[in-house]
Structures are given as structure tokens and as C-alpha cells.
Chains A and B, each alone.
Chain A
Amino acid sequence: MKKLLQIEWIKLWPYKAFRILFIVYFLLLGLSLLIGRSLNNGEGEELNKLFKILSVPNIWNYYLFVAVLLNIVLGIIVIFVISNEYSFKTMRQNLIDGLNRNQLFVSKLLLISILTFLSTLVVYISGLIAGKVYNPDATFSDLLERNVLIGGYAIACFGTLSMASLFAIILKRSGLATIVFILFIFPLDVILNQGLLKGCCNDYLPVSVLFKGIIEWPGNMIRSFGEEAQTALAWLPVTMGLVYIGLFNFLSWFIIRRRDL
């Protein structure tokens, strides 16, 4: 395990696209809080007072909603890193050099686990800091309210990255896998949901679960002037999220085991 981690690290850090996308991801996260900050001034302040987006604990609903959307960027990082292994044929060379197919799978699983851990950590810490900065009166226990949602974010993140990893493993090419990943998240899921399935399975399809099921969109919160917001995780989307994590990773493992390299 330690060996696989070291190998991933030697590969990843010098990879420019990885660093750039990672920096872009953190900038966008920060930007989402700065946009929030503009709500704290002038007219914005009035708006914020009205809708209470940046008040504690509502800030979690807003910030985690943004973070869930930004998982798409993390997903693209995962697609680039994994499809590179196919286009450079380094996955095959790693196998020839002595890794077995399970280790190839585990090293990809480690990659998405580490990204999930890092982003969850950064989102949590920056959320706490932003909460305190925007609400100097908030006590520590105020800041800890709704923290269970962070766990939901971690599941959504891990699920999204598992999906990205599966697409990269199936399609092998970064451009193609990125396009399919994004199309799947936006139009394809809607077409599948509303068109073919006539909205019957909204709660069960992966994109609905991972992007608005586990962490709900803050629309209700804003419409109700900050009064109605998600305060806890619902068991159905969380269960479905875990089911998809299992399914995506099982398929990835299966393909790596079975396919010629």
C-alpha cells in the first residue's frame, strides 16, 4: 500500500496538468467564498441578511453545494491521470515490471481516495474559517452545526471520482472520457431521467444522487429566506451513493482484471 502511494506520488506531482487543475480547483473553491464575501457589503449585505446564505449554519448548505459541483474538476483530474496510463501504455509497463492487476486497481482507488480526503479536508477547514469570518459572533458549537453534511459531501465526492475513474478506464482516452463524463452529468442524465424514465427514478440515478441527492441544492433555503435548509443526510441518497461507489469500483476492478493491456 505504502509502495503504491509512493509510486503514485512520484508520477503525479511533476505532472503539470495535475498541478494546474488542482490549483484551478482550489481557486474556484476560494472564489465561491469570495463571491459570498461580496454579499457581505452594501446591497449584497442586505441580500445576505434577507436570504441568510452566509450565516452559520446556512453557509454549509451553500458551500457544500458549490463544492459538489466542483467535484467535476476533480473528476477531470482523475480522468486525465488514469487515461494517461493507458495512452502512455505505462499501466502495461507497470504490470510487466511486476505489479499485479489488483495493485493496478488499488493504485487508482488510492488516487481517488486521496483526492476525496484532501478536498473534504480543505472544504471543511475553509468552511469553518469562512463561517467564523462572516459571522464573528458565531460560537464554536454554532459552527459545528450541520457538520454531518460534510460526511455526505465526502460520499458524493468519492462517488463522482469513482464514476470518472470508471469512464477513464473504459474509454482510455482523456478527451473522449472527459466529454462523456461532462455530457453524462449534464444533458444525458436529464434526458435519461425525464425522457426515457419519465422522472420515475429521480432519486436513484447516479448523477441525481451524487450531485443533488446527498447534498441538496440550496434552492429551498433561498426561497424560504434561509428558514428551510437541509439539516441532515437522508438515508436513501446516501445508500444509493454507497451502492454506486461499490458498483463503479467493482466495474473498474473487473475491467482491469479482465482486459488485455
Chain B
Amino acid sequence: MKLVVLPKSVQLETILNTAALTKHYGPITAVNGIDLHVERGSVYGILGPNGSGKTTTLGMLLGAIHPSSGSFSWFGKGTGDENRKRIGAILEHPIFYPYLSGAQNLRITARIKGVPEKDVDRVLQIVELSARKNSPAATYSLGMKQRMAIAAALLGDPEVLVLDEPTNGLDPQGIAEIRGLIREVAASGKTILIASHLLDEVEKVCTHVAVIKNGNLLAQGHVNEILGDEQLLEIASADPAGLKLQLEQLHCSVRSDESGLFLVGLPEGMDASSLNKKLVESGQAIHHLRVRKKKLEESFLEITA
């Protein structure tokens, strides 16, 4: 999948750019020359199996891991430490001083971010943990820890949230709660970067996705483009050039052309029989028509194969 070059006006709204970001651990290449482009307001999923380099990538973007080579830039301002005060982030799993209460932990984060302490109560309300704010963090359930971590990430109302496997280890109810929370935050216009190994999660929450495997970026773009759960048609006729012209006039997107065998995506409101009818009416004699339903898993396996 080739990268889309964004026009200048859109580039101004780029929140994060990475260029050939790479991390070696001895002979192992954990992240191999990854280029990411995250635009303001998007919910950007980094999708990949366990051990594919998601956390290492986020670790580099958050200053915890030194890249071996390549670069990244937040808000068009490079790698400066100050950038992180505009980002709320969870890396790997929720991290707290276990002997301190949730509220005390949040006060530490607030001090670091230079956020007034009264913001602690606001974020506790968002994640509905006000009632347990004075219990030691060690006594929290995993779901509560995840919510508390999101609360910490929300302190100071950052422009960007970075969440690493935010629903890992949660029960279905916990998963639903966290996803609901993410959607609410996304609706407020924040840019969210989520690493996940769950296809379904990315599809449900994200607007954009980057697929990585073994440290390599395989694809990135709009979720529907990359993981589209759409109907595709294989079509062929004796007159490929005429057919292609006709398809374009009918607003069909031609995905590939293998010596006259076109793989075609349909516009809304059109199905295989109506397309066939229109083509015949316009004088195109179709000798091959096959419906191919592209499933999510199929797309993913296709990309990561």
C-alpha cells in the first residue's frame, strides 16, 4: 500500500509524523522504518499481532525508548519533551504507585503536567471512579485500573490520547465501558492513537488504521479502505477499455486490473444485478461476473500474509 501524500493545507493539521522510525535490539529489528501520518481529530489504530512492534513504536513516540534511526515529530515541533504535556498516554498497562490512592496518583500526574489539582475531580467523574478515589491503587480491579489510567491520560484535557491495548484483559462489560469512553472522548474532537491486536476493536473504534507485522508497516489509511467490509465484483468483457470507461462513468471504483479482469467496488445503492443491467444496456457484453464479499478477517489476513 503506498502512502498518500497530503496536500499542504492538510499537513498543517498533522498531529504526528514519523519517518523511517526504526528500533533494533541487538540483531532483532523490533520496528523497521515505519512512516505514520496521524491527522487531527482522527482515531488512529495501530493494528498488529502481539509482538509486532506496537508498544515499541509508541514507546519511541513517547520518549521512553530511544529510536535506533529515523525520526518523528509531534504537532510539527519535533521530539521535544514539552510535547508530551499535550499528550495523555498509557503505555503497555496502567501504571501507578500501588501504595498511593487513585487521587494521590492523579495528583502526581497533574503536577508533572502542570495542571491544576482541581482537574483531578473532573477526570475522576468522567471515568466514574470518584467513589473509590481514596482507596490504594493496589486494591483496584483491572477494569478500574484501566479507567484510572484513562483518567490520568485525560488530565489537563490533552489534544492527543495514546492508549496501548486499552481493553486488554477486561471482561466484556469492561471492554464495552472502555470503548464507550473512547468514543465519547473521540466525539469531543480529540486525536486518539490506539494500539491493539484486536481487529474488531479497531474496526469499532477507529477512523484510521495502520497495520504492522514484525515491525513492518503493511498498510495505513482509512479503516474502510484498509479493512473495508465491502462487496467487490470481478468483471470481465471482450472490450476491457470500454468496460473500464463505463465502470468509471457509473462511479464504480476499479481496484485492480489483471489483464482485463477488473476488481470493482460498488457505489452506494448499487448491487451486482443492477450494475450488470446497466452495463448490458450500455452495450457491454459481460462474460465474467463474480461477487466477492471482502470480510474483515480476510482483509487483515490478506494484509498480514
Contacts and interface: CB of A to CB of B under 8 A. Distances in A.
B99 A97 contact: no
Contacts of A90: 95-97
A95 B104 contact: no
Given A11-B100, A14-B104, A90-B95, A96 B84 contact: yes
A46 B205 CA distance: 83
Contacts of B111: 3, 6-7, 10
* Interface size bracket, B side: 20 to 34
A95 B59 CA distance: 11
Given A10-B104, A11-B100, A90-B96, A99 B112 contact: yes
Interface in A220-261: 258, 260-261
Contacts of A98: 81-82, 84-85, 112-114
Contacts of A261: 64-65
Interface in A138-192: none
B108 interface: yes
B109 interface: yes
Given A11-B100, A14-B104, A96-B91, A260 B64 contact: yes
B84 A260 contact: no
A64 to B, nearest CB: 34
B98 A88 contact: yes
A258 B65 CA distance: 9
Interface string A71-102: 00000000000001000111011111111110
**What's the dominant secondary structure at chain A's contact region?**
helix
Contact of B91 (A7, A10, A92, A100): A92
B53 to A, nearest CB: 14
B273 to A, nearest CB: 55
Contacts of A95: 62-64, 84
Given A10-B111, A98-B85, A89 B66 contact: no
Contact of A88 (B63, B81, B97, B112): B97
A247 B240 CA distance: 76
A15 interface: yes
22 contacts: A3-B111, A3-B114, A7-B108, A10-B100, A14-B104, A15-B97, A16-B99, A88-B97, A89-B95, A90-B96, A92-B91, A93-B91, A95-B84, A96-B63, A96-B91, A97-B84, A97-B89, A97-B109, A97-B112, A98-B114, A100-B63, A261-B65
The 5 closest A-B pairs by CB, nearest first: A100-B81, A98-B85, A93-B95, A97-B112, A261-B64
Given A93-B91, A93-B109, A97-B89, 19 more contacts: A3-B111, A10-B104, A10-B107, A14-B99, A89-B92, A89-B95, A90-B95, A95-B62, A95-B63, A95-B64, A96-B64, A96-B84, A96-B89, A97-B109, A98-B81, A98-B113, A99-B81, A100-B63, A101-B81
